[in-house]
Amino acid sequence: MADRPTLHGQGLVLRPVRVEDAEALLEATHDAENMRLTGTQASFTIEQLRAHYRNVAVEADRYDFAITADDDPQSRWLGEAVLRNVDRHNRCAGYRISLGGTALTGRGLGTRATQLVLGFAFGALELHRVELEV
């Protein structure tokens, strides 16, 4: 797959996830409400999360974006937005989003990140359908 894009707009930057984002992801797994809302039952080690981010960076059927603020010079991870199971033949994909904890909810981050991802999916990738399972 070609290089992963970085999406800019609406006060956010969605950049490809990096292995060093695993520390913030680990923190998010300590938020019980966040884990409940994402349906996550498992516990993870930092090594497992680093391996996960290394793997998804090269998988051909997904785009994993770190949600960051556009005014954050360190591109601090606030959550992730993921297009997965991208099927170019049927022009569809699945979508999931998770913020780094309930302290980040209610500020429009998820809505704005979703709008950026959908713009990319329907525009650059020319998909016809993106599914979100709740």
The answer regarding whether domain 7-132 maps to CATH 3.40.630.30 reads yes
pLDDT of residue 28: 86
93-118: burial string, b at 16+ Cβ within 10 Å, e else = bbbbbbbbbeebeeeebbebbbebbb
pTM of the model: 0.90
Q: Domains of the chain: which residue ranges?
A: 7-132
pLDDT of residue 73: 63
The three-point CA angle 34-38-42 to 5° equals: 90
At 20-31, the pLDDT tens digits run: 999 998 888 888
Could you tell me if 14 and 117 are in contact, meaning their C-beta atoms sit under 8 angstroms apart?
A: yes
